[in-house]
Each structure stands twice: as C-alpha cells, then as structure tokens.
A = this chain, B = another copy of it.
C-alpha cells in the first residue's frame, strides 16, 4: 500500500487517504458534524470507526472550490478487521485460499502486503454503506430527509442529493507502473491481469481477461479466414467447412473460458467467497415494512405491481422500439436501392462510393438509436423499482441486449434470409462492422479524454499541472480526480464484445474476414480501454466478481443462434443445393437434421466439459472437507458446557 501521501488525523496521527466523500457546498453544518461523528464512532456504538478529515484547500484554492470535501482512511487494524467482515479469501501458508480472519492473520502469506489499496478502498466503501441510522428520525438539519432504524445513512444522503459522490483515490505511483506495463510499452505480451486486479478489482480484471482471451481465441478463425479473402474462395464448399469449424470452436472457447475464469477467480479469492446479504439499491422506494429475511425495517414494494409495470409498460415499449428499428431498416433498404439505381445509370468512381453511403448512414443511425434507447431503458428499469442492484442490472442488460441485437442484426437477417443476396450481405457486414468499430473507439475513449482535457485547461488555466505531475499536493489531486468522468461499469464494454461476437459467428460462412477485423479491433480495444481506465475516468471501486455473470449466458445464447443461421446459410448455398437436384424437401430435411445434431452436440459438450478445472475442484473440496473435519473434532473434544458458549 502506498504510504507517501498522508493527512493528519484530529488526534495528530497520520493516515493514508483512501476514499473521498464530496457533499454539496451548501450542506448544513449540523448534518456534516453528525455524519463525521457517525463515521468516526466506535463500532460498538454503531459507528464505522474510520478516520476522516476535511480536505484543506491547496495554495491555488479559489473561492469556487467546494469546501465540503472529505478524505477517509482507516487504521491498519481496522482494515484487517474489515477484510474479515467483507469475507476476503487470501492465500494461506499452505498455498490454498482461505477466508481471512484477523486472529489467524500471521498464517496468511505476506499478510501485510497482501491487502491492496483497491481492497482497502472496497472495505471502506463497505463500511460506509453499512453505516446505519440508529434512532434518528431524519438527517439533522434536514427534517424532510427521513431516516428509520437500519437505513443506510450514506445511501439516503446520496439518493437525496446532499452527497455528491464517494470515490476512491488513484495511486499515482502505482498507476504509472501499471500504465507502463499495460499499454505504454510496444512489446507484444499478455496483459498484467494480476496488476489490473490489484488496482481496479476483480470485475475489471475479468473483463480485460475475457477481452484478451476472446481475441486470442479468434486468431485461429482469423488465420483460416485470410486465405478466403486472398484467394477469393467464393466457394460454398469451403465456406461450409469454415462454418462447421466455427460452430465447434465457439462452443469450445466459451466452455474453456468458464474454466479459465474459475482459475483466475480462485487465485484472486473470489471463487469461494460468500456474498453478503444484498441491501436495497439506492433508488429503491416503497412503503416502510419489515424485510422477511433480515427482520430489519426496510421499504417494501409489491412484486405484483412491479410485474404489472414490466408487462404492461416496459415490454410494449421495447416492442415499439423494435418496430421503429424495423421501420428505419426499411428506409435504409429504400436508400440502398436508390443508390444502386444511380450507380447503374452512370457508373463512375463517385457513384461507386455512393453505394457505401446508405450503409454508413444506417450504421451511424443505429449507434444513435442505441444510445437513445439506452437512456430510455435505464429510466424504465429504474421505474420498475427493483429491490436489488443485481436484478436491476439483469433487467437492464436484457432490455438493452434485445434491442441492440435486433438493431445490429435485423438488416443482415433480412438480407440473408428474405432477399437471399449473399454479395450484399457480405458488403453490409463489412460496412457495419468497420463503421461501428471506428465510432465506438472514438465515442468511448478519445472523445471523453479530449473533452476533459479542454475542461481541465479552462478550469486550471494558470497551473498546468496534470495527473502526471509527481509533486501534486493532495488537495489538487482530489480536485482533479473529482472532475474526471465516472466510469459506469463494464456494461458497454461487454456489450460491444457481444455484438462483435455476433458479427463473427452469425454469418461466419459468408464473410470469413470478419474474424480478422474483430481481432484487429480487439487489439486496439485493449489499448483504448486501458487508456480510458487509467487516464480518463475516476478510479472505480473494485467489484469482487467470480465470473462474467450474465454475459456468459448472452454469449452462449449467441452461439446457439449462430448454429441456426449458419445451417440455414449453408442450406441456401448453390453447391449444397446441387447435391439434391431432384428434391428441395430432402435438402431441407438434411439441413434441419444436421442443425439438430449440432445443437444436441453443443448441449452435450457443455454438459461434459466440467466448469471448474480438476485441480481447483480438489482444492475447493479439500477446504470443505477440512472444515467438516474440524467441526467433528471440536464436537469430540469439547465438553458440552463450552459448546453452548459460541453457538448463536
């Protein structure tokens, strides 16, 4: 843990600032004093027992600066207790991963250095979120900001808007080292996943791990695809071989990823970590009642009402959007026909270029529609009032996935199966793929970076100090970071990969070059994503994750759809048709039979390949076995009266 920066506690002792809390500048004094006291109070008294200090503005402090910025830290002992509370798994002396306990800390390997700053920040966030109201009826100074025993104080202040943000600080030294090994050197190598995990947490590291794995897994497909392009193999027999290879490959790589991510998650201690009980998400509202699980006072919202909102509003809305998307698609085809007509009348270089314009416009429109829909989906999912952040996310992902899938692929499906024009399909595929890649990389990393640089230059005109500056005082660093954009999670990054996977797999037998383009895109994607994480965004809180969650399912669903589309494309090819000259029925029966066979094989393969590698299974069952044995021994050795003492 970096110890270079430190601030003085009220007792005069120093501590390392880990997390920043920003309140709105006009917050009432009594509310601030109350909050700080609650944060500092001993745990026995219901406090968080953390260290917190107001940030003293630096020399360049202007009047415009918000004075209500606080830095939070904790004593080393408090952090270790916290590590036990959040249930971190750490490497034990014998090389296995075990639940960290304070009492047993000396038996963990390098337990001093084993707790990274990101983990400390996660602990602080956890403790702040768990700071609960006692008997206060409202936040002092704000009679309308109701509280009830057990309500998370921070979440209430956040949802009512007094609390602007809570964010973890970057570590300049670490960040510099990470940037260097990650994206600043030119030499070809794997990403430093352990360092990424150390700095950004497991969720982020799994995303980058998946991105890298996905890219590597596509390389064989890309290599096989290149000769198709070079030698102009417009031969469906060869395409069929390619598609068959793809279908098996997709299933295998998705299964192997599960095993790889289990290995990674085991090494990071998140595989066997038990999740704590999930609290309601900040935006959740309802009538105050008693949670049947915790017995705590908590807002309740009837499930029936939520279902009504989902089925009577959200579902029709999504269907309407899909219809709109179809409508736009039909306009695109009209434009396409019109461009073709002009080109056929007077074929020049310019009209040749004109042929690409409808596709480009359509790609841009699709991106815009996706963006607008995304906001609408977020609003609607919020309005559905889900109790948990995880169910909120699942519903949001589902809505956005369906629309994006439809938006991106509807025109390709139309061209492939209604128009049955393979040349146009290939051309559209190429245009869509390339346009969306370029747009994405601009929108995602360089635009925010450029905007922020401009803003920073305006704000701090006289001082040209930037994040890179080593001797930047704490107050300046906090100010700079507070102004950085907030990273909204891995959602968009996964979505992009998902759509790219669709371009590669759905029509792979028509356009083998897609894999090459996606590989090229992913290589730059690694750099631009790494760049944006290190330079553009505030440091996000680390998220302990054991797998890529709902995305695994989404990718698997895509690979099932790919079997269906590829079989249909193969069945439509003239070469395959020529095998059944007399009867089209027989051709279709064969194709359908082949498709069913492939689908069945996929499911059997998914079932046969174990999700967790053998050596990790052994370690996991060893841990379980030992805890069972320990329990037994305890029963045999200890007299009955002693047993009663620690059973609750």
Contacts and interface: CB of A to CB of B under 8 A. Distances in A.
Contacts of A628: 274, 276-277
Nearest to A274: B628
Contacts of A585: 584-585, 588
Contacts of A632: 85
A392 interface: no
Contact of A648 (B43, B294, B592, B630): B630
Interface string A233-253: 000000000000000000000
A104 interface: yes
Nearest to A303: B614
Given A277-B625, A647-B103, A44 B636 contact: yes
A564 interface: yes
B630 A293 contact: no
A305 interface: no
B633 A648 contact: yes
Contacts of A215: none
Contact of A102 (B43, B103, B588, B635): B635
A564 B595 CA distance: 12
A77 to B, nearest CB: 10
A421 interface: no
Nearest to A592: B592
Contacts of A618: 292-293
5 contacts: A43-B636, A44-B636, A84-B635, A104-B644, A292-B622
A160 interface: no
Contacts of A624: 277
A596 interface: yes
10 shortest interchain CB distances as A-B pairs: A630-B648, A103-B643, A293-B622, A277-B625, A293-B621, A292-B618, A584-B585, A588-B588, A103-B644, A293-B625
Q: Which of A43, A293, A644 has the most CB of B within 10 A?
A: A293
Main secondary structure of the interface of A (DSSP, over half): helix
B647 A294 contact: no
Contacts of A625: 277, 293-294
A640 interface: yes
A43 B633 CA distance: 11
Contacts of A44: 636
Interface in A52-67: none
Contacts of A622: 292-294
Most-contacted residue by chain B among A101, A102, A104, A592 (CB, 10 A): A592
A640 B102 contact: yes
Contacts of A640: 102-103
B293 A635 contact: no
Interface in A557-610: 564, 584-585, 588-589, 592, 596
A634 interface: yes
Given A628-B277, A646-B646, A648-B630, A635 B85 contact: yes
Nearest to A615: B292
Contacts of A210: none
A301 interface: no
Contacts of A276: 628
Interface string A386-412: 000000000000000000000000000
Interface in A185-199: none
Contacts of A647: 101, 103-104
A551 interface: no
Contacts of A621: 277, 293
A552 to B, nearest CB: 14
Contacts of A634: 646, 648
A637 to B, nearest CB: 9
Contacts of A292: 618, 622
A494 interface: no
A636 B45 CA distance: 11
